Amino acid sequence: MYGQILTFIVALVLFSLQESGNEALRPPVKNLSLAALVFAAFVLLCAVLFGRLRAAWHKGLPQDLVAARFYRLQGRLSVLALGFLALDVFVLNVKDLFQWVPGFSRSSTVSGLVGLAIYMLHLAAIWYWAYPLHRRLTGTSTGRAAFIKGHFSFYSALLFPWFFIALVLDALQWVHLPAFFASELGQIVLFGLVFSLFLCLSPPVIVRFWRCRPVPDSPVRRRLEEFCRSHRFRLGDFLLWPLYGGDHFSAAVLGILPRFRYILITRGLLALLHEEELKAVVAHEMGHVKRFHALLYLSLFLAYAAAAGAFHDIVLLAFLQQKWVLQWVLSRDSVAHNLFSIIYSIPVLALLVLYFRYLFGYFMRTCERQADLFALKTLGDPSPLVSSLQKIAYHSGGIEDLPSWHHYSIRERIHMLLAATANPDLIAAHDRKLLRSAAVFFLGLGLLIHGAVQFRHSEKAQAWRQDIQLHILEAELKLDEKRPELYMAYSGLLMQRQRYRDARLILEKGLRLAPNHPGIQNNLAWLYATAPPPYRNPQRALELAEQAAAQQPDPYVLDTLAEAYYVNGRYEEALAAIRQAIVQKPQKVSYYLEQEKKFLDALEKERR
């Protein structure tokens, strides 16, 4: 389940990263035909691989090996489906086929739904061809259509958190929020608030979507309820979980608030286990709640959001620093845009997979073990939980040693339960291990995020941004040499980089094209007034500044005029000009007040 959630996240990122150029590579009909052929190839591949595994079983391959290869094959095909999705997106430009969908180009929710639908179509092919082996391994009576429908229902509900959060965040774009929520920290806080709201209020919606029904009243149910009450564990209900048709052997706890908290048990597990084993399963799920695992998972999601936000600009700047990458971005060609999307997606996806597969996976395994140990401590006897795990492993096709990135294998779980029974100190030791791990992780990640934020505000990062902006403006000037605002922006960046000679040449060229443009006059006046020799020319600075101010007496133009008066020794006029600017209440008024003080000090010094 958790592995599939990770692939859904990757699918969303893959689909969102690609941006098409202005020039289409192929006609839409041809793109659609090629996409259909690629999907047909994936379907054929699934049929062949599952067919080979069935043939190997018929030839005598042991069932436990068949089960291990079966689950491994499903996982690998799910990952391979991401490769086919990437092919659709980056090579076949399938996103161009959905531009007609209302909101597709503006809403991340709409475009994300389309991307997930394409990926789910590939998963449906996997489920279709996996069904015969699944039926033989588990002995299920569920038909193929119900099996596939069950998968769709289950994973669609798992995607509900993303859909809810994306929809709310899209809607909030049209709402006037406090300025704080426009900042990076505010965005993370907003995401956390929306996610927390979802965790608290969504369980009733999800269980209805899954069509869960209350576990029928029986002596076993009543004793399970009494078991929960005796341990002060409140919940809304025990529900039958129709996971993959209901024959799957699984249980889960859903919800944080007691009123909206449910323990879900599949029909298959309810029939498989006796009362004491069911109590052990309930105690395990109780451990997740009592040890606040949902809050830890929420914190891990928020930590990833914070880290992704902190490092996003750095990764992007590092790429755009390369001229050949920037040329792809500025190109109107779809191939160039796709190449950039592919290159940029590599570190983004690598960090995402590493974080969730290894860091998040470590905490999930550790939490699952803590829930096992909580159940042991609650029951005082490992036998019910051990026997329930053994039954699940046997009836699932002999999966005692099946590896999982988010769960220890069943054999490892049983060994730990027996070891903790022999040495109860292991329970407290594991609790301390989880606490230490979380503290070290959040402290370390916090330091990394702090370092990233500091770097983003450093002179080095600022120089990177200026270099990129210079390259962009150079490219735009090559396309259109008659836009005065480009000369203004380009010269301003050149002066910030102290490239005064280049700035003067650009501004003089711009002035020849637009002799009376106040913006160009102002920038050239500022250069002549503030640049070091041999570029300083106070007299020419004043001449240009007066011309600019006569046409456009804005605060920044009056500031240039005041500076020109100042470098020409005309302090009273400089003071009058800067005060005229201050009267207009400009932004960053503190700068203008500092200028006023500088001119006033010069005037007083002259009068002494």
Element (H, E) at 239: strand 237-241
Q: Give the model's pLDDT for residue 61.
A: 85
Kindly report whether the peptide bond that precedes residue 28 is cis, defined as omega within 30 degrees of 0: no
Mean pLDDT of 160-188: 72
What are the structural domains of the chain? 1-140 (no CATH), 309-479 (no CATH), 514-607 (1.25.40.10)
pLDDT tens profile 280-297 = 999 999 999 999 998 898
Strand order in the sheet with 251-254: 213-214, 237-241, 262-266, 251-254
pLDDT tens profile 343-354 = 877 887 788 888
Residue 122's pLDDT band (boundaries 50, 70, 90)? Answer: very high
Residue 244's pLDDT band (boundaries 50, 70, 90)? Answer: low
Percent of the chain predicted with pLDDT > 90: 38
Residue 239's φ and ψ, nearest 5 degrees, are: -125, 145
278-297 burial code (b ≥16 CB/10 A, e <16)? bbbbbbbbbbbbbbebbebb
pTM over 0.85: no
Instruction: Supply the DSSP string of 423-485, one letter for each residue.
Output: -THHHHHHHHHHHHHHHHHHHHHHHHHHHHHHHHTSHHHHHHHHHHHHHHHHHHHHH-TT-HH
Residue 484's pLDDT band (boundaries 50, 70, 90)? Answer: confident
Q: Which residue has the higher pLDDT, 406 or 555?
A: 555
Please give the Cα distance from 509 to 512 (Å, whole number).
5
Total residues found in the chain within this entry: 608
Q: Judging by beta carbons within 10 Å of its beta carbon (0-12, 13-18, 19+), is residue 270 exposed, middle or buried?
A: buried
Taking 70 as the threshold, does the pLDDT of residue 512 lie above it?
yes
Helix, strand, coil percent values for the chain (each to nearest 5):
75, 5, 20
Please give the Cα distance from 358 to 445 (Å, whole number).
14
Q: Give the model's pLDDT for residue 245.
A: 64
Structure tokens at 321: 């620093």
Q: Chain-wide mean pLDDT for the chain? A: 85
Q: Give the model's pLDDT for residue 13.
A: 75
Q: Give the model's pLDDT for residue 526.
A: 94
Whether the CB-CB separation of 169 and 182 falls below 8 Å is answered with no
Q: Give the model's pLDDT for residue 154.
A: 78
Q: Give the model's pLDDT for residue 261.
A: 92
